[in-house]
Amino acid sequence: MTKFIKSVAAAAVLATSSTGVQAASLSTDVNVQLPSIIVLSCFDAVSVNVGAAGLQAALLIDSLEEGLGEAEANSLTANLDAAAEVTEVGTEVDLNLNGVCAFRALVADGVTVEVEEATDATLVNGDDSIDASGITLASGNTSDDVTAGLGLGVAPTPISVTIPLDLSDATAPGTYSRTDLFTITVTAI
């Protein structure tokens, strides 16, 4: 409506002008609305392939890099019990997803970053499962306030997540998965 009134006013000035050069000026308003938060990137899915050596190291299983040495048997049926040499076998390990998402924010007071796990945070493979309950941000919290390093002219703010994996019910090889295991929400304070 404002543009229409300005156009009519300009036409009226030009139509009523007498001889000679006349000048008219108009001003233009410009409004640019920006969002408070921009999600720059976030992975939709993460696949982790763990080999035997990687799993052994992650579970802090005692490694016998040089072997057990020489075994001595006094009969054709000998119980050598190599398993007795492994003193500790873990079943829990953290999966750290560093930089799983990144954002920028245009807010003076900062943002709150939250991670929420699915109601059933269990990765499944047939009848076997891995419990992933207790998902947190890298800080160990499920919610953090971020007040520094915000703005468009600064580096993106990364979001990292830690997923605890309890492997005690994982009795088969293969892929254990869960869709929408966690949700990250960034909210202006």
Q: How confident is the model at residue 86 (pLDDT cuts 50, 70, 90)?
A: low
Question: Could you give the CA distance from residue 31 to residue 19 in angstroms, rounded to a whole number?
Answer: 38
Give alpha helix (H) positions in the chain.
2-15, 52-58
Contact (CB, 8 A) for 42 and 62: no
| Tens-digit pLDDT profile for residues 107-166 | 878 899 999 999 999 999 999 999 999 999 999 999 999 988 888 778 888 999 999 999
Q: How confident is the model at residue 12 (pLDDT cuts 50, 70, 90)?
A: low
Proportion of the chain above pLDDT 90, given as a percent: 35
pLDDT for residue 43: 86
- Which CATH code fits 36-47+91-188? 2.60.40
Q: Output 15 or 119, whichever has higher pLDDT.
A: 119
The DSSP result for 131-164, as a single string, is E----EETTS-SEEEE-SS-STTSPPEEEEEEEE
Q: Output 70 or 184, whichever has higher pLDDT.
A: 184
Question: Could you give the CA distance from residue 89 to residue 116 in angstroms, rounded to a whole number?
Answer: 30
Question: Could you give the CA distance from residue 163 to residue 8 in angstroms, rounded to a whole number?
Answer: 65
pLDDT at residue 28 greater than cutoff 70: yes
pTM comes to 0.71
pLDDT for residue 10: 54
**In the predicted model, what is the mean pLDDT of the chain?**
80
pLDDT for residue 106: 86
pLDDT for residue 93: 86
Question: Could you give the CA distance from residue 161 to residue 100 in angstroms, rounded to a whole number?
Answer: 7
Contact (CB, 8 A) for 163 and 181: yes
> Among 130, 138, 113, 121, which Cα is nearest to 188's?
113
